[in-house]
Structures are given as C-alpha cells and as structure tokens.
Amino acid sequence: MFPFQTACHEFVMRTSQFLIATQKETPADAEIVSHQLMLRAGLIRKIAAGLYTWLPLGLRVLRKVETIVREEMDRSGAQEVSMPVMQPAELWEESGRWEQYGPELLRIRDRHERDFCLGPTHEEVITALVRDEIRSYKQLPLNLYQVQTKVRDEIRPRFGVMRSREFIMKDAYSFHVSQASLQETYEVMFDTYSRIFTRLGLEFRPVIADTGSIGGSASHEFHVLADSGEDAIAFSDASDYAANVEMAEALAPGETRAQPTAAMARADTPGVTTIDALAGFLSVESTTCLKTLVVKGDQDGALVALVLRGDHQLNTVKAAHLEGVASPLQMAAEDEVRAALGAGFGSLGPVGLDIPVYVDRAAAVLADFNCGANEDGVHFTGVNWERDCPLPQVADLREVVEGDPSPDGKGKLRIRRGIEVGHIFQLGDKYSAAMGARVLDETGKNVTMTMGCYGIGVTRIVAAAIEQNHDDSGIIWPHSMAPFQVAIVPLNMRKSEAVADAAETLYAQLRELGVEVLMDDRDERPGVKFADMELVGIPHRVVIGDRALAEGNLEYKGRRDADAQLVPQDKVIELLREKLG
RNA sequence: CGGGGCGUAGCGCAGUCUGGUAGCGCACCACACUGGGGGUGUGGUGGUCACAGGUUCAAAUCCUGUCGUCCCGACCA
C-alpha cells in the first residue's frame, strides 16, 4: 500500500489543505449576487472578460450538476458522446450557418489556412455523424447527448458565468422517422428535464416558448425563478400553465361593451402627450383612455396603428405576428407619423384614421373613452366604437399583467422573473434536409430524418441556484449541489485535546460512511470559520467546542436554521443521517 | 457597434484638478497575546501607477495614441 494514497484523500477534505479562496470584499465589477458570491466564496476566478477558471470548490459543484444531468439523461435512454469543440467550416457551410451566424461564431484558421470555428452548438457535427452512421429506420429513434464546452463570442459577456463566452452545456439531439416518434421523445425529454431540476432542488417552471424563426410545433424553456432573471414569465396560480410573457395570451375580457352614454366632445389639451398626463388633465382613470401606437407595415412606407387601453403595454412579439405588420417589429418615427396622420405621438387616436388599425381586446370593449384627435394638443372625450369611428380588427396586442385570467381558463396569472436554464424544441428537418441525413423507411423509401434538440446550461445552473438560494452570509446550496454536505468546525483544537479528539473521531466516522465532509482544521478564530463555512454554503455544520463538549454535547446547525441545537456526542451521526436523508 | 465610467499590491480604495520620496484598509509572512462570530500589538513581504510615445530638470499626475475592463443601449436567444 502506498501511504500517500490515503494521505492525498485525507488532505483534500481538510481546510488546511483544500484551497479555500474566500474573500471578504466584494469585487467591484461583479454586478449580480451570484457573481459576487461565486467570486467571494472562491468558486471561480476571472481570467478575461467572460472567461473563468473554476477553483476546486466551484468545480465540485459543477460536477454535481453534471452528474445529475448524466444520470437522468442515461436513464431516459439517451447515449453520451463527445464532439469536438473545434469544427471545420465545411459543415457549417453545408447547413448555411457559416454565412448566417454572424460574429458570435468564433472563427479561427489553422496553420494550413483552413477555416474552423469553435462550436457554439453542435447540430452540424451530430447531423453529419448520424447521416454517415444511420441507414435504417430500425436504428431509430436515436438520442445522443454530450456535456461539452461551448464557445460564443458574446458582444457583451456579463453577470459572471451567467452569460460568458465559454460555458458548459449539455446538448442532446434526437433523430426520428416520424413526427409521432419525435413527439414521444420530446415528452420524455420534458419529463427528464423536470426530474433534473427537481433533483437539483431548484424552484423552476417549464414555460411555453416562442419557436422563433426555426419554426416547429413545440418548444419549452425551463426557467429557474429568481428576481434577477432576464426573462419575465407568466404562470397560473391554479394550474401548471406557464409561458414566457412574450407568448402569454391576454384573454378577451368577459364583459361586453356598454352602451354609449356620453356625447363625443373635443377637448383642448395643450402639452398633454402621455396617458398619465391625459388622465390627470381630464380627472379620469388611465383605463378609460386609449393609446395609439404606430408601427411600420410590411410594405415599403406603410404604417399600421395599434390601439391599446391606456394602462396596458404593447407586446412586441404579438404585434410582429399581425398581418401587414413588419417582423421584427419596428416603431414608426415621429416625423413619419406626423406626415401621414397630421399629429405627433401624444395626440393620436382611432377617430378618422385612414391607415390599417388593430385594436386590443381590452380596448375594444371600452365605451365613452378618451383618445387623441390626430391634431396636436387636442383630444376627444366620450368616444364610442361604431358610433364615432368604426371598430377596427380586434386582436391580442397587449402584454399580460399580474392578475389576468390564465389562458387555460384556470386561475389567475402571476408574473415572476426567470433564468433560462434549459430549452427543448422540435427542430424538424432544418439540418437533416440541408445536410442530407436520410434513412430508408419500412417501405424502402428514402426519408429525411426529423430532429429534436435539447439543451441545459450547466454552468448557468450554478449561478441560477445561487440567485435563488442565498442570504446575507452567502450561498445556501441545495443538498444535491453542495460541494460538501457537512462542515466540522472544531474551536480552538490546537489547545484542546478533547475538541481535537472529538473532531477527528466524528470526521473519521463520517468519512467511513461516505459523507462528503469538510473539516475546518485551520488555526483560525471561530468567527472566521463560521463566516467562511456560511459564505461557501455548506448545508450542515457541526461545531465542536470545549463548552458544550464538557457536557458531552456537540452543536448542529443547518445552513438555513436560525439557531444551533445541542446534540449529545453519540447521537450526532444519527442526526446527520436523518438530515442527509 | 453607439454612449458613459474605471485601469495605482491578491481584493477594496486614496493620491491625478494644482507635476517633486507611491500610500491606506483587508489579505499574506514572523513573533507574542487572544480563543464561541471576520480579534489585538510589534515587525515585515509585495507595485514597470494598463501600455506606447510626447512635454518637462522632474510625470501615477499634463498631452497624444493604443489596449483592457465594467455599466447602459442596440444585437443575439
């Protein structure tokens, strides 16, 4: 037996040997809390903008995430592969993305002047592989995945590992002869993702997502809920409906339009150009006012007016999907509007408009409303649809708000912010068709495979978990992600033999049981050790001090507990077993 | 790519306007004290003041250029 074998293992579980690179001060360039805490707790260090080294502690967390992802992917029937980070330009030319992708694709040239890129994703490589290897429908469906470093030359890397230039992603690609088979695998992946995020201990929502330009019939994003999230998501308080706010439908109001009671009148409103100002000027609620936005049409020089209730916001994704409206959405310039309609932004309204008009469902049921008169400094009051102006085509134009009825008819919508950590979608034949990935079907006919793809941002999960789980003292890891489960904190062990003995005994017992335990055997004062173990976020802490030990007790405290509890020395293992599940 | 901020020790910062010995706190090393919430004292280590050029007897400081980095926006999904 080689003595150093055990010695090496022994040492890494002790803070005196393990690299604990904590910092008291918050680095000035870290904006969000996860970035600050990852630096302060010594998980990562920046090497350049958007590029980070993972320190031992951080890497342990990253590996935890990867392990769970692998276990669940394997369990789903997917098979792991590993594809190169560096990829030949030819493949990207085949799919057409060498031209399409833009500067985010980091292109490099080798010594023979041949073009390559560092892969931001791997559709091309996997499709080429499957095209060459798979001949028959009998070999399908096939789902291949990898856990691999991706490179994206982000315009502006930010928020630490949340949006970095190099990151680890689990990406999977499935291949099918039929849409039905794709749908089946898609559902399996949906369930697998739900299992993964549940096991990781994160509060998440699968969210209906925009399929964007890629098309396809289904796409879901998985979001970790956190106030700092980049996306707004709407979900029902009474069902599992959840959608990106971009996609969430605002249902038509239940009530029908009331009969007119007021006569239309002209009001001089000098300098009133906002809904708030108008409501204030007329002493009415903003919900009785209409706002009229003008966007560019899909024909050159064409304009389209969009009418919303004063308190509502335009949803640009919905608007861009309207017939006759340019996609992506472009707001018209004010001088263009003035030339066409005779008034500037603050004085527009649906009365007498001779361009195409859409009205939002909520605005369409208003009666006796107030709106601009298409004349600067003038508004109308007491306006009614079909009496004073025609009712335009009604559409869902607005952004949903908290309290709206859920589109599935169950409950009300709540809105929270989310961090996108997973995305599954049905790709169809975009890549398989472009790259000629075909198989023979049961009738002997050549058919193009249909594909699904499924991504998880592994590095981003670490940051998202911290955004969701932290307090003033530092990180609070979910059990499944914690770098160590238990911290043993002996106080003054250099002087107290009893403390040292108790600590070493407990340490040995936990090691024997296979518990990931970190022994803080540094000759530091208690405050330093407590602060470090809390900052680093270890879920369970056992403090061993002379005081309690004299009574035969140790102290246990969970990371989220307010206070420690005394535990008889011989009951500690039992307690920890219970806590660790 | 547009706008703005910042580059001085590992981290946080002062010094720059008004040119004249490169500083403070934390961290780190040594010793002593202390020992239940980032402790105290004494003595230390560590800097090409982002880089290049210029002005000057003299540049962290003034001038010109370059680079890096952060924020906002646009872009991307």
A35, closest nucleotide (Cα–C1'): B70
Residues in chain A predicted with pLDDT less than 50, given as ranges, are 1-7, 213, 215
* Strand B contacts in A 268-287 (CB under 7 A): none
A156 CA → B64 C1’, Å: 29
* Strand B contacts in A 325-344 (CB under 7 A): 328
pLDDT of residue A216: 55
- In sequence order, the 6+-apart residues with CB closer than 8 A to the CB of A328 are A316, A320
Report the protein residue whose CA lies nearest the C1' of nucleotide B13: A28
| SS3 of A13-41 | CECCCCCCCCCCCCCCCCCCHHHHHHHHC
A495 CA → B34 C1’, Å: 12
Q: Which helix (H) or strand (E) holds A5?
A: helix A3-12
Q: Which helix (H) or strand (E) holds A219?
A: strand A219-225
The phi-psi region of residue A419 (left if phi > 0; otherwise alpha if psi is between -120 and 50; otherwise beta) is beta
* A140 and A449 Cβ atoms separated by less than 8 Å: yes
One-letter amino acid of A150: K
Q: Give the single-character DSSP code of A559.
A: T
* A309 and A287 Cβ atoms separated by less than 8 Å: yes
* Burial class of residue A150 (count of CB atoms within 10 Å of its CB; 0-12, 13-18, 19+): buried
A104, closest nucleotide (Cα–C1'): B76
* Strand B contacts in A 216-255 (CB under 7 A): 230-231
A543 CA → B36 C1’, Å: 9
Q: pLDDT averaged over chain A? A: 91
Q: Whole-angstrom Cα distance, residue A122 to residue A412? A: 40
User: Residue-wise over A258-274: b if at least 16 C-beta within 10 A, else e?
Assistant: eebeeebeebebeebee
pLDDT of residue A211: 62
A36 CA → B33 C1’, Å: 35
A531, closest nucleotide (Cα–C1'): B38
Residue A159 CB in 7 A reach of strand B: yes
Of A461, A539, A516, which is closest to residue A196 (Cα–Cα)? Answer: A461
Of A374, A270, A401, A392, which is closest to residue A323 (Cα–Cα)? Answer: A392
Q: Give the 3-state secondary structure of residue A527.
A: helix
Residue A530 CB in 7 A reach of strand B: yes
Token pair in block for residue A292: 């009229």
* A319 and A295 Cβ atoms separated by less than 8 Å: yes
Each residue's pLDDT tens digit, A517-549:
999 999 999 999 999 999 999 999 999 999 999
Q: Where are the beta strands (DSSP E) in A110-141?
A: 115-118
A221, closest nucleotide (Cα–C1'): B77
pLDDT of residue A5: 44
Q: What is the ipTM of this complex?
A: 0.92
Token pair in block for residue A363: 């605005």
